[in-house]
Amino acid sequence: MPMPVQSNEILSKLLTDRLYFIRDEINEITRQVEERQELKQSLDSEIDERVCQVRNIIYLIELDICNKIDKSRRRTLLEKQIADLYKEKRQEKLSHWIDTVMWKEN
C-alpha cells in the first residue's frame, strides 16, 4: 500500500530539516576544532620562543669571561625553567587531545 503524498512531503521535510541541523553541527564542531588547533599552535610557539630565550641566557652565562656569575646556581634555575616549559607544552598537547576526543564522541 503506497504512502499518501502528504506523508511523503512531511517525511521529506523532516529529513531535510534534520540534514540542515546535522550540517550546522558539523560546521560548528569543525570551527571549534580549528580554533583549538590554532590555540595549540600559538601556545607551542610561545613556549618554544621562551625556551630559546632561556637557552640563550644559559649560553651567555657560559661565556662569562670574568666569572662574575654564579654559574652553577643560575644554570640550574634556567634549566628548571626549560623543564617547566616543556612540561607546560606536554600539558597543552594532552589538553588538545582530550578536547579533540570529546568532540569526536559528540
Domain ranges of the chain: 5-105
DSSP string, 24-42: HHHHHHHHHHHHHHHHHHH
What is the per-residue pLDDT for 4? 63
Q: HSE (CB half, 13 Å, CA atoms) of 36?
A: 18
* Residue carrying C-alpha cell 628548571: 80
Q: Is the pLDDT of residue 91 over 60?
A: yes
- Least confident piece of the model among 10-24, 27-41, 54-68: 54-68
What is the per-residue pLDDT for 68? 66
Average pLDDT, the chain: 83
At 24-51, the pLDDT tens digits run 988 988 888 898 889 889 989 999 999 9
One-letter amino acid at 5 equals V
Q: Is the pLDDT of residue 2 over 60?
A: no
